[in-house]
Amino acid sequence: MLRRLIRPISPSARREERIFYLFILPWLIGLVVFNAGPILGILGLSFTDWRISFQGLNFVGLENYRTLFADETFWVSVGNTLYITVGRVVLGTIFALFLAILLNQKVPGIPFFRAVYYLPSVTAGVAVALVWIWIFNPQVGILNHSLRLLGIKGPTWIHSTVWVKPSLIIMSIFTVGPNMIILLAGLQGIPKELYEAAEIDGAGAWEKFANVTLPMLSPVLFFVIIISVAASFQNFTEIRVMTQGGPGESSNVLVWYLWENAFVYFQMGVASAVAWIIFLLLMGLTGIQFRLGRRWVFYEV
Amino acid sequence: MSREKLSRRAFLKLAAASGSGVALAGLGPLSSIASAQDSVELTFGRHWEAAFRPRQAEYDEGFMERHPNISINITYNTWADHNNVVPAWAAAGTLPDIIYVHGSRVVPWAHEGIIIDIHDIVTPDEEFDVDNMWEESLRLYRINGRLHALPYDHGPLILGYNVDMFDAAGMDYPNEEWTMDDLREAAIALSKPDEFQWGWSGELDLGNGGSDFFLGAWGGRKMSDDETEMILDSPESREALNFWYSLIHEENAGPSATEAEGFGDNPWQNGRCGMAVVPTWETPSLRAFASFNWDVAPTPMGADGTRRTGAFGSGYGITPTSGQPDVAWTYLREYLSNEGMIFMWSLSGRGSPARPEALEVWFTSDPAPPSAHYYRDAMFDYAVTGRPYETIAGAQVSDVLSREAELLRLGETTVDGAIAAIMEEGQAALDSVAEDM
């Protein structure tokens, strides 16, 4: 019975399997040494009172986690992270999809526009952040200047506790290049026959988008959302360069909170605990997305 | 800046000129410590901006000429990153031999084992005159009476003013008799917000040094002298902060944070403000970038004649992983000597050397303002080293202070709200380290 269930493997298939493992070996070694190893190492350190030196390292159990949960700033940073993540992922994905659809049109000059929209993504993060500091400048920034031309008094953007998070979200929208490219590839992979069939059935532009494009693109959208959430949680450069977690604590996100604990307060054990909480939060959110994905992600068989 | 490296001859000339050269003429026993060894490399973690690095290179060339067996290898960090890079080096076990240490980091870094106790290296060296350094500067580097680093610069924060703006308004310059009320009157008189001109720079610095400029005139303080208690909620401190708050938010005598942004966050240097707090270390950039005539005056007194301001500075420490502290000291004893400071910080115009004699030489340099002697007077008479610097919770306390100062500047909190937050969170930070102190 068992013999009938296990398919016999031919020598050539075995050789192919060995070559497969050989090719992924460098990546596997990298994953274990540079990712899994440190992740587990940090888990261990999160149960210690590690500061800078490893000398005098003591096991403190869950003390670091208790410290975090009792710290108001930690919860502020969790809230800020979720706020910015939701904004970035929702608006960023919509904008990336909008751009991908635009750039999927057969009009002259499309390669130029694709390059233009991708450009911010290949520019150094610090340079982009510095440019945005000036764009958000309340007095002489181009954003408020444009609003003034429309008779609107612009807010103080990154200098306001209310507007700093929306500012960071707005800024992130202009770095959707990679997601745009992924979605563009997804759009180009949708068979034209499906649109032709829909047209024969009398579908208009919206019906074609809602009933053909979105379902066919859903696996790609799902992937884009997963990686966007992870990227948003890990975003550090903009906070470091533009706001340093302020004004007040209004842009203090988890990675900034982690960094301050590690390299300003030297509470490496606490910082390790924060790193693990970020990891668990991301795993949890990804799990939720996979569960929700079953309802809306359509895989072509 | 002249291209003149500090060769052995030049070094000795400087030493002789300053009157302390005789003892240094042979470069003493420590020169023999270095020369007795094989070729060694000294590594450094510094933060000089690009414009000042040639001066450092000139000094180091001279040093290597005097000590041919010692080579120098410097890693430059940015000012913004240095305090975070060093702990990362420490965690990775890759600290250089000598590191720049901001005065606020001495205690936490010593506590973390990033710098070593150098008391027994420094004090037996009879040729190195520790007593000739500002006593206020040494406060930062002594832990339980023992030196853990040495200052290279230390300076006070006094009143700077835009001479051209005062002249245009036909007003008298700030002087030794000025009180905070005079500052207020002048600031209001000079302000023309519609023309982007303000009498006061608007800054509120509650950090090391800066806070004493305002608080001091009312006799207010942030922390107790043993740095175990936040005491910013005194009536004196509250009055001082209310004075600043009304100057900015009610009298419009200083730019708001958003207005300041329009001038690269430095409307004072851009000539838009009549007065500002000007520490010694800012004078070279003012000389380089300000397109107006400016000078300095004593920090204004309070109504009862009290005059106080903050002072602060930075130094150098030796790391535990160095393995060659004697060679590191060979460098530091010359670098931080009167002659070394004159070359690096006085003649270069950098300002705020940690030795009074070197400060006198700075007065003659181009970047020093006409009334630079008021800096010396402040150091001798009324400047105090700004807290926190004795607690290992200094970074946490400073974070709370700067956060609330920023919110006050933005008008997003009140003086009472800021004081309440600082008292609560600052005290919690101090309490959390009480057992470790």
Q: Is residue B368 part of a domain?
A: no
Q: Where are the beta strands (DSSP E) in chain A?
A: none
Whether B258 and chain A come into contact, CB under 8 Å, resolves to yes
Q: State the pairing for strand pair B150-162/B294-297.
A: antiparallel
Return d(Cα B60, Cα B74) in angstroms, integer: 10
Amino acid at the residue B18: S
Domains of chain A (ranges; CATH) run 77-296 (1.10.3720.10)
Among residues B413, B425, B204, B84, the alpha carbon closest in space to that of A76 is found at B425
Q: How far is CA A124 from CA A110, A214, B50, B76, in A?
A: 24, 32, 21, 21
Among residues B295, B296, B292, the alpha carbon closest in space to that of B270 is found at B292
Residues B72 and B215 in one domain: no
Percent over 70 (pLDDT), chain A: 96
**The two three-digit tokens of residue B315, written as one number:** 């130094």
* Domains: count for chain B: 2
Among residues B104, B102, B309, the alpha carbon closest in space to that of B211 is found at B309
Q: What is the DSSP string of A6-56?
A: SPPPPHHHHHHHHHHHHHHHHHHHHIIIIIIHHHHHHHHHTTB---SSSTT
Residues B272 and B293 in one domain: yes
Q: How far is CA B128 from CA B102, B123, B330, B354, B357, in A?
A: 22, 8, 11, 14, 14
Burial class (CB within 10 angstroms; exposed 0-12, middle 13-18, buried 19+) of B391:
buried
Q: In chain B, which among 366-405 make CB contacts under 8 A with chain A?
A: 395-396, 399, 403
Complex ipTM value: 0.79
Q: In chain B, which among 107-126 make CB contacts under 8 A with chain A?
A: 108, 112-114
| pLDDT score, position B221 | 94
Whether B88 and chain A come into contact, CB under 8 Å, resolves to yes
Which candidate from B113, B261, B410 shows the least CB-CB separation from A247?
A: B410
- Give me the phi and psi of A219, to 5 degrees please: -65, -35
CB contact under 8 A, A248 and B112: no
Which candidate from B261, B406, B407 shows the least CB-CB separation from A137?
A: B261
Q: How far is CA B425 from CA A78, A97, B107, B217, B431, in A?
A: 19, 45, 20, 25, 10
Q: Is the pLDDT of residue B9 over 70?
A: no
Which CATH number covers residue B355? 3.40.190.10
Q: Is residue B2 part of a domain?
A: no
Among residues B276, B104, B280, B151, the alpha carbon closest in space to that of B205 is found at B276
Return d(Cα B105, Cα B207) in angstroms, integer: 13
Whether A159 and chain B come into contact, CB under 8 Å, resolves to yes
CB contact under 8 A, A159 and B257: yes
CB contact under 8 A, B257 and A260: no
DSSP conformational letter for B299: P
Residues B174 and B150 in one domain: no
What digits encode the pLDDT tens for the residues A154-201?
Answer: 998 998 999 999 999 999 988 888 999 999 999 999 999 999 999 999
Q: Is residue B380 part of a domain?
A: no
Question: Chain centroid to CA A272: how far?
Answer: 21
Return d(Cα A103, Cα B365) in angstroms, integer: 61
Q: Is residue B253 part of a domain?
A: yes
Mean pLDDT of B358-371: 92
Among residues B375, B370, B332, B330, the alpha carbon closest in space to that of B356 is found at B375
Chain B: residue whose CA lies nearest to A158: B258
CA–CA min distance B359, chain A (Å): 32
Which candidate from A247, A260, A268 shows the least CB-CB separation from B407?
A: A247
Residues B396 and B423 in one domain: yes
Among residues B73, B74, B71, B70, the alpha carbon closest in space to that of B48 is found at B74
Q: Is residue B377 part of a domain?
A: no
- Give me the phi and psi of B314, to 5 degrees please: -140, 165
Residue whose structure tokens are 């290898």: B73
Q: State the pairing for strand pair B98-102/B70-76.
A: unpaired
- Chain A residue numbers with beta carbons less than 8 Å from the beta carbon of B413 are 248
Q: How many CB pairs under 8 A join A and B?
A: 63
**Positive or negative: CA dihedral B328, B331, B336, B338:** positive
Which candidate from A51, A138, A264 shows the least CB-CB separation from B84?
A: A264
Residues B192 and B97 in one domain: no
Return d(Cα B375, Cα B312) in angstroms, integer: 12
Confidence of residue A123 (pLDDT cuts 50, 70, 90): confident
Which residues have CB under 8 Å from A157's CB, separation 6+? A136, A137, A138, A141, A143, A144, A163, A164, A167
Q: What is the DSSP string of B183-222?
A: HHHHHHHH-BGGGTBEEE------STTTHHHHHHHHT--S
Whether A210 and chain B come into contact, CB under 8 Å, resolves to no
Which residues have CB under 8 Å from B320's CB, separation 6+? B95, B113, B114, B115, B116
Residues B89 and B196 in one domain: no
CA–CA min distance A91, chain B (Å): 27
Residue B296 region by backbone torsions, left for phi larger than 0, else alpha for psi between -120 and 50, else beta? beta
Residues B56 and B194 in one domain: no
Q: Is the pLDDT of residue B23 over 50?
A: no
CB contact under 8 A, B258 and A247: no
Q: Is residue B381 part of a domain?
A: no
Mean pLDDT of A202-213: 92
CA–CA min distance B384, chain A (Å): 25
CB contact under 8 A, A55 and B113: yes
Residues spanned by the domain of B288 = 156-311+386-436
B163 versus B257: which is more confidently predicted? B163
The secondary element (H helix, E strand) that includes residue B17 is helix B8-17
Q: Is the pLDDT of residue B16 over 60?
A: no
Residues B66 and B176 in one domain: no
What digits encode the pLDDT tens for the residues B319-339?
Answer: 999 999 999 999 999 999 999
- Chain B residue numbers with beta carbons less than 8 Å from the beta carbon of A52 are 87, 90-91, 112-114
The secondary element (H helix, E strand) that includes residue A200 is helix A192-200
CB contact under 8 A, B113 and A52: yes
DSSP conformational letter for B425: I
Confidence of residue B377 (pLDDT cuts 50, 70, 90): very high
Q: In chain B, which among 168-227 make CB contacts under 8 A with chain A?
A: none
CB contact under 8 A, A52 and B114: yes
- Chain B residue numbers with beta carbons less than 8 Å from the beta carbon of A262 are 87
**The two three-digit tokens of residue A11, written as one number:** 């020598």
Return d(Cα A291, Cα A272) in angstroms, integer: 29
Which candidate from B88, B259, B407 shows the least CB-CB separation from A248?
A: B407
Q: What is the DSSP string of B242-291?
A: HHHHIIIIIS--S--HHHHHTTTT-TTTTT-EEEEEEEGGGHHHHHHH--
Name the pTM for this structure. 0.83
CB contact under 8 A, A156 and B410: yes
Q: In chain A, which among 101-140 make CB contacts under 8 A with chain B?
A: 137-140
What digits encode the pLDDT tens for the residues B380-407?
Answer: 999 999 999 999 999 999 999 999 999 9
Residues B290 and B402 in one domain: yes
Mean pLDDT of A228-243: 93
| pLDDT score, position B21 | 39
Mean pLDDT of B79-91: 90
CB contact under 8 A, A156 and B403: no
Which candidate from A138, A156, A266 shows the least CB-CB separation from B108?
A: A266
| pLDDT score, position B384 | 95
Residues B170 and B266 in one domain: yes
Residues B89 and B181 in one domain: no
Lowest mean pLDDT, pick from B15-19, B151-155, B285-289, B424-428: B15-19
| pLDDT score, position A39 | 92
Whether B87 and chain A come into contact, CB under 8 Å, resolves to yes
Q: Is residue B378 part of a domain?
A: no
Residues B404 and B353 in one domain: no
Q: Is residue B374 part of a domain?
A: no
Return d(Cα B344, Cα B359) in angstroms, integer: 11
